[in-house]
A and B are shown apart, each in its own frame.
Chain A
Amino acid sequence: MTELLRVCELSKRFGGLLASNRLSLQVKEGETHALIGPNGAGKTTLMNQLSGELSPTEGRILFREHDITHLPVYRRTALGIARSYQLTTIFPGFSALENVMLAVQAHQGHSFHFWSNARREPGLRRPAQELLARVGLAPRADVLASNLAHGEQRQLEIAMALASEPALLLLDEPLAGMGAEDGQQIIGLLETLKRQHTILLIEHDMNAIFSLADRVSVLVYGTVIATGSVDEIRGNADVQKAYLGTKDEGKGVQHA
C-alpha cells in the first residue's frame, strides 16, 4: 500500500510544554489507523496540526508527498483531508440537512452565488440527503441540529466530513460521550466507511479499536512509542509500561 500521510519529526511547543515531541507517523492509503495513548499524550494536538488548526513548531507534514505543513485549514480540506471534532462542532441553528448541504456546497466551487435560494437547490439537497442516509440520519433531516441527540450530532459530523469525499478522514474520538448502543451504531458506520476511506482515528474505546483498526500507534508524551497491528500493540512491553506502569500515568487505564 502506498503512503498517504507522513509526519516527520513534528514538534509543538506550548510555552514549557512539548505537546508533540519529534513525532513521526505514517498512514497508508486505505488503512484505518488508530491513535491511542493516555490523556494528555498529545493526540488532539496532533490532529489539530494535521488539519491545520495548529501550526507546528518544528517538523513537516506530507500529504501525498506534498508538504502541507503551513497550509491553512480550508486548503487542506480542498486537498482531501476532512475531520470531525472531539467536541461536537455543528451549525446549531441549521437543520441536519442544512448542515450537510453547507458541507456539500463547500465542494462545488466558490459560493459567490447571490440569487437562487440555496435551500431549494436540488444540487445541494440530493447529495446531502444521500450523505444523511449513509450515516443513518435520513429520518432526522429536518430537525434543528441543536435539537438532535448527542449520538446523532456525531453522525451528522461524520456526514459533513464525508461531503468532501475526503481521501483522509481524521476522526477525533467519534464515540466520545456516547452510550453503548449509540456507540455500536457509530462503530457500524465506521466499519462501512473504512472500506472507502483512509481513516486516522483517536479513540479510547478498545472494542472500537479492535473491530476497526488495521494498525495502531501509541502516543505517549507527544511521541509515538510503538506502531503495529492490534495484536502487536497488545503484546508490546513499552505500551504496557506506558499504560499500566507507574501510578501517575495510570489515568489512561480507565479508558483502555
Chain B
Amino acid sequence: MELFLFKPSGGQASARRLPSWALLVIIGAGLALLPVLTHLIDAPFYITLFSRIMIFALIALSLGFILGFAGLVCFGQAAFAGVGAYVVLIMSDHAANGVPLVEWPFAIGSSSSAFITWPAAMLASGLVALVIGLIALRTRGVYFIMLTLAFAQMIYFFFVNLDAYGGEDGASLAERSSTAGLLDLDDKIVFYYVTFAILALAYIILRKFVDSRFGMVLRGGRQNERRMAALGYSCFRYRLVAFVISGAIAGLAGALMVNHGKFISPSFMHWVRSSDIIAMVVLGGTGNLMGPILGAVAILGLEDVLSGYTEHWHLIYGPLLLLCVLFARRGLYGILTGKGADND
C-alpha cells in the first residue's frame, strides 16, 4: 500500500498552501538576490556554494524532465555532464597549446571561447545521449536503468583510461572559458549570474516543452504506453528526442562545472553521482520542473550544513530521503504546494 500525505482529491487541501507560481517567484527571487544577501552578511563563500548548487540543479532539471514527464529513470546524467566538462577542458587545452582539435581529414582549430566550447559540450553530450538512447530506449523499467548504468560506467572508464587528461586523477582547466571580453567568468558574482541565467533559461524552455504537444506525448507515454500505440503514437522517437535534449542540457551543466571548479575528474561521472542526482529529483518532487531545483538546493544545502557538524551526515540525510519518498509522493514540491501525485 502506498502512503499519501495528501489526499489525491486535491482542491481544498491545497488552498492554504503556496500556489506553484508563488513558489517559482520565491525560488527565482531568492537565487537572484542571493549575492546581495551574502554581501550584506559578508559571507561570499555562499556565492561559490550556490553556483555549485545551481549547476547541480541544472543537471537535476535535465533528469527531472525525462524522469518526471517521460518516466525514464536514467542513471547516466552525471556521465553526460562529465562528457560536457571534458569537451570544454580538451578544447581549451588544445587552444592553449595551439594544437588543432582534428588534423584529418581537414584541420579544425580549437577554441577556449564559451560561445564555442559550451555549445560543443552540449552537442557532444547530446550525441552520446543519442547513441545510448537508441539502444536503451528500446527497453523498459529496470532494464532501461541497467543499460543507462552500464553505458555511464563505460564512459566513466573511458575517461579513467584517458591518460592524456590525467586518467583517474583528472585534469585542471588552466583558464576559464573566454567570452569575447563580454563577461569575466573569473569574477564569482558574474559566474554566479551566468549560471543563474542558464538555469532560468533551461527552466523556461523545458517548461514550454512539457506543456507542448511534444510534452503531452511524453506524459501520455509515461501513463499508458499501450494506449499511446493504439492511438497511433510511436513513443520511442519522442523519448529519444527528449533523452537527447536532456543529455545536452546535462552537458551544458558539465561545461559550467569544469569552469566552476577549474577541474574535472572521472570520479565526477561515477554512477553514484548519478544516483545523487536521482535523489535530488525524487526528493524535490517528480512530475514538475521546480522539484529538481528544490531537491538540489535541499540536498546540497543540507550536505553543507550537516557536514559542518558531523562527518556522518549521511545518517541524517538517508532517513530524510526515505521519509520523503514514503510520505510525500511529490517531494518537497508537493509539501510546499499541496499538489497531489495523480494529476499529470
User: A residues near B, CB below 8 A?
Assistant: 51, 53, 72-74, 77-78, 82-83, 85, 89-94, 98, 101-103, 105-107, 111-119, 121, 124, 144, 146-147, 160, 163-164
The 7 closest A-B pairs by CB, nearest first: A93-B344, A77-B232, A73-B229, A113-B213, A106-B232, A106-B231, A118-B213
A92-B224, A112-B214, A115-B212 given; 18 more Cβ-contact pairs under 8 Å: A72-B229, A91-B344, A93-B219, A93-B223, A93-B342, A94-B219, A102-B216, A111-B213, A111-B238, A112-B241, A113-B214, A114-B208, A114-B209, A117-B211, A124-B213, A160-B227, A160-B231, A163-B231
A113 touches B342 (CB 8 A): no
Q: Which residues of A contact B215 (CB under 8 A)?
A: 118
CA distance A186 to B111 in the complex (A): 67
Is there an interface contact between A164 and B216, defined as CB atoms closer than 8 Å? Answer: no
The DSSP consensus for interface residues of chain B is helix
Question: In the complex, what residue of chain B is closest to A52 when comparing beta carbons?
Answer: B229
- Judge if B41 is at the interface, Cβ distance under 8 Å: no
| Among A91, A107, A144, A160, residue most surrounded by chain B Cβ atoms (within 10 Å) | A91
Residues of B within 8 A of A (CB): 9, 208-209, 211-217, 219-220, 223-224, 226-227, 229-234, 238, 241, 342-344
Quote the shortest CB–CB distance from B210 to chain A (angstroms).
Answer: 10
Q: How many A-B residue pairs have CB under 8 A?
A: 100
**What residues of B have a CB within 8 angstroms of the CB of A102 in the complex?**
216-217, 220, 231
Provide a sorted-by-A list of 9 A–B residue pairs whose CB atoms are within 8 angstroms. Answer: A77-B229, A77-B230, A103-B231, A112-B241, A115-B208, A115-B212, A117-B211, A160-B227, A164-B231
Q: How far is the CA of A131 from the CA of B329 in the complex (A)?
A: 34
Q: Give the docked Cα–Cα distance between A113 and B216 (Å).
A: 10
Q: Is the CB of A105 within 8 A of B216?
A: yes
Chain B residues whose CB sits within 8 angstroms of the CB of A124 once the complex forms: 213
Q: Judge whether B211 and A118 touch: CB under 8 Å.
A: yes
Residues of A with C-beta under 8 A to B227: 89-91, 160
Residues of chain B within 8 A of A92, CB atoms compared: 223-224, 342
For residue B83, give the distance in angstroms from its CB to the closest CB of chain A: 24
* Complex Cα–Cα for A90 and B223 (A): 8
CB distance A111 to B216 under 8 Å?
A: yes
Name which residue of chain B comes closest to A119, CB basis.
Answer: B211
For the complex, give the distance between the alpha carbons of A21 and B209 in Å.
48
Scoring B211, B230, B232 by chain A CB atoms within 10 A of each residue's CB, the highest score goes to B230
